[in-house]
Amino acid sequence: MNFQKYSFRFISLFLSIGLCLFISCSNDEAIQPTVGVVIPPQPEEEPEMPASTLVEGVDYFLPNIDLNNWKVTLPIGNPTEVEPPEILDYANVEILQEFMYNDSTDGALVFHTYPGASTRNSSFSRTELREQIVPGSNSTNWTFAQGGRMKGTLSVPEMSRDGNTSHRTMVMQIHGRLTNSQRDLIGEDDNNAPPVLKIYWQKDGQIRVLTKKLKDLNAPSNKILETTAWTDNEGHNFSKNVGTDKFTLEVIASDGRLEVILNDEESVVYDDIHMQKWGIFENYFKAGNYLQTTDEDSFSKVKYYDLEISH
């Protein structure tokens, strides 16, 4: 027997078996799961959200104001006014875009104004809403006997200054109006009557209320209709300073009575003979930004978040 020959064959066989086992083990390890290591799936990049899927109150905010019964007066033109139905599409009305526009970051309707065009009976300019019970018409109004309520949430975030003191603006009114027969009775050429209520933001956030009082309580009814028969009362300053923060004003007019409420906390009531005498007039609500200065470079911005009226 050739021992060297068989030894060589035995060694070759041994090496072949070892190589097969090595390859088999390597393949088994390749298909075994990795223990203790988890590779998470990679997130896909989110597609840009189309405009049609944006959600009001989540992705943007709009003011809660129904403009069907309001027109707006601007500090330009003679002055310029925009009435329903055009005002309902205010965001697309070019002439309004500087003066009345949405701030969708906090759901406000912004009223911006500066000295410019003024109405016939004033030297001050405004971007201000005027109530129209019949849209597009100033002829239908209301009396205190019929009653009226206006409530709004607002703020005054920007106001120019006169030295160390802010300028002031009127943010709400109840304005009087003569009927055509009253106008003719006293020989006037328009239907203007005084404002019975004026509410101001002033002195960096003080809220001041002014109403009218009759100069002569014994004046006959035709004399009461004249603007010169009335003057401002002493006024009322609410104790809370609102600064540039949001605040709520509510105005309630009823037969012989007028109440103004700040933030559902403070109230001032007028229920005297002057309010009773005022019952002779028709009225309408106003709200917005009526700047009380003509100083060069002055301006103001008033934000309304909600505004409602009822009768």
pLDDT at 60: 83
Q: Is the per-residue pLDDT at 50 higher than 70?
A: no
For residue 31, what pLDDT band results from cuts at 50, 70 and 90? Answer: very low
Rounded-to-integer distance, Cα 113 and Cα 124, Å: 10
Confidence class of residue 55 from pLDDT cuts 50, 70 and 90?
confident
pLDDT digits (tens, 9 = 90+) for 78-136: 999 999 999 999 999 999 999 999 999 999 999 999 999 999 889 999 999 999 999 99
58-87 burial, b for 16+ CB within 10 Å, e for fewer? eeebebebebebbbbbbbbeebeebbbebb
Range name among 2-6, 71-75, 254-258 with the lowest pLDDT average: 2-6
DSSP 130-171: EE-SSTT-SS--B-TTT-EEEEEEEEEEEE-EETTEE--EEE
Whether the predicted pLDDT of 25 surpasses 60: no
Average pLDDT of 261-278? 98
Residues 300 and 155 sit within 8 Å (Cβ to Cβ)? no
Number of domains in the chain: 2
Tell me the pLDDT of the chain averaged across its residues. Answer: 88
pLDDT at 172: 98
Residues 256 and 138 in one domain: yes
Q: What is the pLDDT of residue 53?
A: 79
pLDDT grade for 52, boundaries at 50, 70 and 90: low
pTM for the model stands at 0.82
184 in any annotated domain = yes
Q: Identify which of 263, 299, 253, 260 has the alpha carbon closest to the alpha carbon of residue 160.
A: 299
Domain identity same for 70 and 210: yes
Whether the pLDDT of residue 19 is over 70: the answer is no
Confidence class for position 46, pLDDT limits 50, 70, 90:
low
State the residue range of the domain holding 68. Answer: 61-310
SS3 of residue 115 by DSSP? coil
In a domain, 54, yes or no: no
Q: How many CB atoms lie within 10 A of CB 208?
A: 16
Q: The tokens of 262 are what?
A: 């700040």
Phi, psi at 187, each rounded to 5°:
75, 30
Residue 65 counted as domain residue: yes
Task: Report which of 238, 260, 262 is spatially closest to residue 248, judged by C-alpha positions.
Answer: 262
Give, as one character, the DSSP assignment of residue 57. Answer: T
Q: Are residues 26 and 148 in the same domain?
A: no
What are the tokens at 39? 């590779």
Other beta carbons less than 10 A from residue 262's beta carbon: 19
Q: What is the CATH number of the domain that holds 243?
A: 2.60.120.200
pLDDT digits 0-9 by tens, 194-208? 999 999 999 999 999
Contact between 294 and 168 under an 8 Å Cβ cutoff? The reply is no
Q: Examine the domain organization and report whether 7 and 153 are in the same domain.
A: no
